[in-house]
Structure 1
Amino acid sequence: MHNRSILAQLLLVFVTLLWGSTFLTLQIALTWADPVVIVALRFVIATGILTCLLRGEILKISRYEWKAGIVVGICIFGVYTLQTIGLQSIASSTSAFLTGLYVGFVPLLQWLIFKNAPQPITIVTIVLAFAGMTLFANPFSVSFSGQMGEWITVLSALICAAEILSISYFTKGCRPLQLSFTQLITVACLALLTLLWHEPSRPTEWTSGLFICVIALAAIVSFVQFGIGWALKYVPAMRATLIYALEPVFAGIIGWFAGEQFGLSELSGATLIIFAVLISAWRPSSGKKNNGETL
């Protein structure tokens, strides 16, 4: 079990690396299509990928796996949709900072739901990780005065924390591939329904570049959801959350290779986040089963 825990944490690091890579791909895709259109295409294709992998096993998906996938899928859709809406009125750096609030929301929800107050070491790692994420953004531009986009993005961060805890809760009774399928098809259906009333901000340009980007994004989200579903069987939700905090680090490094600025502030933030993750990984397990309530 200890070896699987280590493997699961390494898988989450790789998953977070893939997540970080999607920012640049998504930015390119947005030059050809509306964000909601991209979300719909991404998750429809991702659902198709898992349909091919599952084949005849889809009819054998249990009621519990459908229930879990629908709950988690609603959370995923909420995060993507609210972030998109928020970005229409606030800067991307502000959005990144406010989204990072999920690092603090996870232990808060654990406390409220599981009645388990965070331990001192958990608070230390949260502060370190959030401080590091702050250095990647510009929190001083946040005002909360007449900016609905800021409040909407905070709500998306809260839902993101609920998503992490939901996967951690349901994953023990689900098969990873089946759970991933039910999640993705839920998001795809919700995104397609949204397109019935959503007015795209720009017409879609059906270029080969758009298809390449969307297929890449779909393949990544398919693997990411499967990887998370498997890894959270062996990694507590709070520790996984700290690993997810590496996302801006990987995104910044990839952006740096693409020609973006990566200065002293970003380097300092990366150091703090990595330090928080190392403290979390070094801390010996308490011996409890993973139910999402320990670091």
Structure 2
Amino acid sequence: MPVPAPRPVVGILLLIFVSAAWGSAFPLMKDLIARMPVADLLAERYGIAALVLAALRPGRLRRLPEGTWPAGVLLGLLFGVGQTAQAVALHDLPSSVSGFTVGSHVVITPVLGLVLLGARTSPRVWAAAALAMAAMAVFAVLRGAEGGHVSPPALAATLLSAVLYAAHTLVLGNSPAARQNAYAVTVIQLGTIAVMTGVLAAPDGLTPPATPGDWAALGHLSIVVCALGFLARSWGQVHVPPVSAAVILSAQPLWVTALAVALYGEPLTVSVFLGGGLIALSMLLIVLPGGPLGPGRRVAGPVPPRPSG
């Protein structure tokens, strides 16, 4: 299947949807984890998402080109291990510290790209990443840490998850199989995460949701956050380079805060305006004229090496 011509606006809108969908998952996950084991919730969430997408378009999983399965499994392992490490470490970390540490993937992504792939990143994109990182610090510091002892092993595990999320972004943006077979790769990576977390949950058996409200929350997490979110991200990164995608996805704390204000009546504070402003500025650096996704710019995959001589 040929890779479609780059359409930056489509990619940006898809990634904004992903950021909002994943931001909506935080309060639901925090609520459900109080009544369900982490591994059980993750296994059910990703398992339902994989089954729904596979049932909707089973033909997309037949006669796949070589390299599609390895790409999907690798992406699933990177994201699944990262999410499991983050969820387990959250028991020993304030949520603000965890969120700030995970958010560092917006800076880790260009660093990994430079070290591992030799990918060149413009100063404007570095500035956007730095602004997004500053926004993470605002959300973490100004909103106040929850207190308590910060466990070094938990902090290290959360930092590992940030590195794995950055690697996931780079692999997704640079894998030909992921770019050419986004639907199949999405289903495979969701299934991989479901199997991995299912193995962790198997010894004690799966605990299903106990109430209709919990089933509704699981449905949102499975269909909107996982199935549609991962699919939109796979398609979005066909049109947006990895580092720019990481900057757009860094708006998740802003969506979490907006939902908390709208649904739970939390007050609008200085951190909301300052952090939100920094995130908006970082995204403007990416999408306005002169940026990597601005008018007249082409969005492509990895730059091929120049011929010698």
What TM-score results when the alignment is normalised by the length of structure 2?
Answer: 0.86
Aligned to 2:251: 246
* TM-fit CA distance, 1:54: 1.9
* TM-fit CA distance, 1:138: 3.0
* TM-fit CA distance, 1:117: 4.7
The answer to whether the 8 Å contact 1:144/1:150 transfers is: no
- Select 1:229's aligned residue among 228, 234, 237: 234
* TM-fit CA distance, 1:292: 8.7
- Residue 78 (structure 2) pairs with residue 75 (structure 1): yes
Q: 1:144 to 1:68 in 2, by over 3 A?
A: farther
Q: 1:205 to 1:188 in 2, by over 3 A?
A: closer
- Residue 27 (structure 2) pairs with residue 47 (structure 1): no
Question: Mapping of 1:257-272 within 5 angstroms?
Answer: 257-258=262-263, 259-272=265-278
Quote the Cα distance in structure 2 between the aligned partners of 1:292 and 1:255.
41
Aligned to 1:280: 286
Question: Mapping of 1:170-189 within 5 angstroms?
Answer: 170=175, 173-189=179-195
Quote the Cα distance in structure 1 between the aligned partners of 2:209 and 2:248.
36
Gaps of 5+ in 1: none
Letter in 1 for 2:270: L
Aligned to 1:134: 137
- 1:177-197 deviation per Cα after TM superposition (whole angstroms, max 9, x unaligned): 111111111111111111135
The answer to whether the 8 Å contact 2:81/2:161 transfers is: yes
- 1:32-82 deviation per Cα after TM superposition (whole angstroms, max 9, x unaligned): 211211101101100110121122442333332111100100011011100
Q: 1:214 to 1:143 in 2, by over 3 A?
A: closer
- Select 2:300's aligned residue among 278, 282, 289: 289
Quote the Cα distance in structure 2 between the aligned partners of 1:233 and 1:194.
32
Q: 1:288 to 1:260 in 2, by over 3 A?
A: closer
Q: 1:253 to 1:2 in 2, by over 3 A?
A: farther
Q: 1:255 to 1:145 in 2, by over 3 A?
A: closer
Question: Mapping of 1:1-295 within 5 angstroms?
Answer: 4-138=7-141, 147-170=152-175, 173-197=179-203, 206-220=210-224, 221-258=226-263, 259-282=265-288, 283-285=290-292, 287=298, 289-291=300-302
Q: 1:233 to 1:109 in 2, by over 3 A?
A: same
Quote the Cα distance in structure 2 between the aligned partners of 1:9 and 1:165.
17
Letter in 2 for 1:212: A
* RMSD after superposition: 2.6
* TM-fit CA distance, 1:199: 9.6
Quote the Cα distance in structure 2 between the aligned partners of 1:20 and 1:288.
26
Q: Residue 88 of structure 1 aligns to a residue in which SS?
A: helix
Q: 1:158 to 1:277 in 2, by over 3 A?
A: same
The answer to whether the 8 Å contact 2:6/2:238 transfers is: no
* TM-fit CA distance, 1:234: 1.2
Q: Residue 62 of structure 2 aligns to a residue in which SS?
A: helix
Letter in 1 for 2:169: I
Q: 1:290 to 1:56 in 2, by over 3 A?
A: closer
* TM-fit CA distance, 1:243: 0.4
The answer to whether the 8 Å contact 2:14/2:235 transfers is: no
Q: 1:45 to 1:73 in 2, by over 3 A?
A: same
The answer to whether the 8 Å contact 1:21/1:251 transfers is: yes
Quote the Cα distance in structure 2 between the aligned partners of 1:292 and 1:83.
33
Q: 1:288 to 1:249 in 2, by over 3 A?
A: closer
* TM-fit CA distance, 1:206: 2.3
The answer to whether the 8 Å contact 2:240/2:299 transfers is: no
Gaps of 5+ in 2: 305-309
